[in-house]
Structure 1
């Protein structure tokens, strides 16, 4: 008996949700991937500890190479809009070996950072409900794994639900930052701040650094907390205009981060001081 061969049809393209994200959605995902609140909490104290009053200008200086990289990514994406980003561009320019190494470098860095973020989220989750646990406690590890599993499920469901969740989470982050800035400035002007320090334009003086090692440390720390906007480019094939929107979102994300970091840093310094007397942001115990 003759049988008719069955042909399995494969969908065209990569199966991505093309035309889903606009400029705002792509920017939100870029900002959320940077985690501005976590980044500031983990880094601000150490930047002030390294360079003192020059912390705001350290964030401005670190912004410059980030902006140039974002412009470069924008041009690369405009020429070759592919979600492979570093892998694809590196392969086309230098060959498959360089592309492979670059792609895996980005992937491994993402896994390390996300695992760290999940662990921090677990620590604060337990602190929120009244438990002060050690970092190696099995309950912290369990909740961290559950967070990773939940975010994996969201990613599997599609970029649309991911965008909605990121909108909510980013709104919560910026609401918390806005409340902090307003409260810090309010207490400064009412005289209730623990170490009120008047704003000085010297904080934004790029020639005010007195120690090269401290300057280098501060810039490296600041560079670290800007990174994450490249997620905009990794979702380029799911945006409405793959050639232009991801690059614009990357640049816009960098600018928003600059304003956020500098504004929060100035407000925190005006509220808590610099730590010359063993207190404030420049105190090593507070930085930790």
Structure 2
């Protein structure tokens, strides 16, 4: 047992990871990181989640769920900012925890992150499909029921063809040189932010203040609706919206001057994204009673159309359709870098850790694309929305607690970063605690899936990774 524990806690060398990642080309600036982060944040979630969460959990108080989520994510963002600046390597929490606590704990963090990223891809693709179909329906185009959504016995849905197409297109785009992809993403993000602001301004003219009453509905016993219970349940569900800075962190090895640019990108994404989410949430529930948004995956465009703002609604739908590609780019990119890190360190096949002539992990990208197409086309949208937050919250807890192992090593075998989490040693514990409290409010489906995914990961690690680890080769 002692020998097994020693193998699980064997730590990766920071210098060794940086040497391996030297094959990846640093090219991202603060502007590119903000593009990635806001591409994820101002994506499917901002156009879909405020309405769904209002109908299922909070009523008009949905903005408070985003405030709670922003507080929890903001604390974790500070931990991410310090760790990414101190350890500028690919794989974010997986690589960091492998250095700080050992490869076994790093694998757990990374494996649960993979579920987060993977479900985020399929969640975004499903939302993109809903907007495409909503837009095309205005022109009389309708898909057969079995091709219009993931598995849904009530509607006859079985395979979401548009979700599959979106994932394939993004996979092809990311197989090219990344500099061009970053420029495209930055342009798309500027358009998306402009249209979100337009929605807030135009939608504000259609607000009926009676729709805000009561702002916090009474809690319905035995449910996750109303009161503080509903707000916390809503915060747990909207955490998918705050995965943007986690996506940024996965690209640390491809960032110029990560000690300066990573904290700026991470914290900037959180602040801008939170303000936009709160604004959209307040306007949306003010336009129509929250019950109208139940199971509506294109709530923002729907509200504009119903209130007579057809031009703005169609503009929003078009930009949402184009803009969700920015979210897909970020999540597919993060997933492929994590799979690459697994292969790089020998915990999965080392073929996944190979870098091609474009300085990109092509094999990892191919695996992510194929798997996401298969799962994202079958799982229904609302099911995915409930599951994505679990991996995000667990990653936040790992990285927050990791500060306690990082700080004593700074200035020794790890450089002192340009940014450090304030109020140490209190704030890292508070950050982990807040994420844990929100995790407890997740649906039972999310908790069960997380546990099953953990068991699968443990089997892979003890059956393969622990014996093929590159850390073991160094010993």
TM-score band, normalised by shorter chain: 0.7 to 0.9
Counterpart of 2:36 in structure 1 is 29
Per-residue CA deviations over 1:268-287 (Å, capped at 9, x if unaligned) read 23332xxxxxxx22346475
Per-residue CA deviations over 1:102-138 (Å, capped at 9, x if unaligned) read 2122223212221232233234334433433356418
Distance 1:123-1:263 versus aligned 2 partners, 3 A rule: closer
Per-residue CA deviations over 1:41-62 (Å, capped at 9, x if unaligned) read 3221233232233222221121
1:16 equivalenced with 2:28 (yes/no): no
Q: Distance in 2 between matches of 1:73 and 1:230?
A: 8
Counterpart of 2:110 in structure 1 is 103
Offset of residue 154 of structure 1: 2.0
Q: Distance in 1 between matches of 2:21 and 2:239?
A: 36
Q: Distance in 2 between matches of 1:246 and 1:82?
A: 12
Distance 1:284-1:186 versus aligned 2 partners, 3 A rule: closer
Offset of residue 146 of structure 1: 3.0
Q: Map 1:1-288 to 2 at 5 A.
A: 13-18=21-26, 20-34=27-41, 36-49=42-55, 50-130=57-137, 131-133=141-143, 136-137=146-147, 141-188=160-207, 196-197=208-209, 211-272=227-288, 280-283=289-292, 285=294
SS of corresponding position for 1:129 = helix
Q: Which runs of 5+ in 1 are unaligned?
A: 1-10, 189-195, 273-279
Aligned residues of 2:51 and 2:281 also touching (Cα < 8 A): no
Q: Distance in 1 between matches of 2:112 and 2:193?
A: 30
Q: Which runs of 5+ in 2 are unaligned?
A: 1-18, 150-158, 217-224, 298-475
Q: TM-score, normalised by structure 1?
A: 0.78
The structure showing larger relative contact order (alpha-carbon pairs under 8 Å, at least 6 residues apart) is 1
Distance 1:158-1:212 versus aligned 2 partners, 3 A rule: same
Aligned residues of 1:27 and 1:249 also touching (Cα < 8 A): yes
Per-residue CA deviations over 1:62-104 (Å, capped at 9, x if unaligned) read 1111011110011111221111211111111221111112212
Aligned residues of 1:232 and 1:247 also touching (Cα < 8 A): no
Q: Distance in 2 between matches of 1:66 and 1:178?
A: 23
Per-residue CA deviations over 1:171-192 (Å, capped at 9, x if unaligned) read 332232122112112334xxxx
Q: TM-score, normalised by structure 2?
A: 0.49
Distance 1:283-1:101 versus aligned 2 partners, 3 A rule: same
Q: Distance in 1 between matches of 2:51 and 2:20?
A: 50
SS of corresponding position for 1:282 = helix
Distance 1:240-1:212 versus aligned 2 partners, 3 A rule: same
Aligned residues of 2:21 and 2:90 also touching (Cα < 8 A): no
Aligned residues of 2:89 and 2:252 also touching (Cα < 8 A): yes
Offset of residue 212 of structure 1: 3.7
Aligned residues of 1:70 and 1:250 also touching (Cα < 8 A): yes
Aligned residues of 1:46 and 1:218 also touching (Cα < 8 A): no
Q: Distance in 2 between matches of 1:144 and 1:287?
A: 17
Q: Distance in 1 between matches of 2:164 and 2:117?
A: 16
State the Cα RMSD in Å: 2.9
SS of corresponding position for 1:21 = coil
Counterpart of 1:5 in structure 2 is none
Aligned residue pairs total: 257
Aligned residues of 1:199 and 1:266 also touching (Cα < 8 A): no
Distance 1:134-1:226 versus aligned 2 partners, 3 A rule: farther
SS of corresponding position for 1:230 = helix
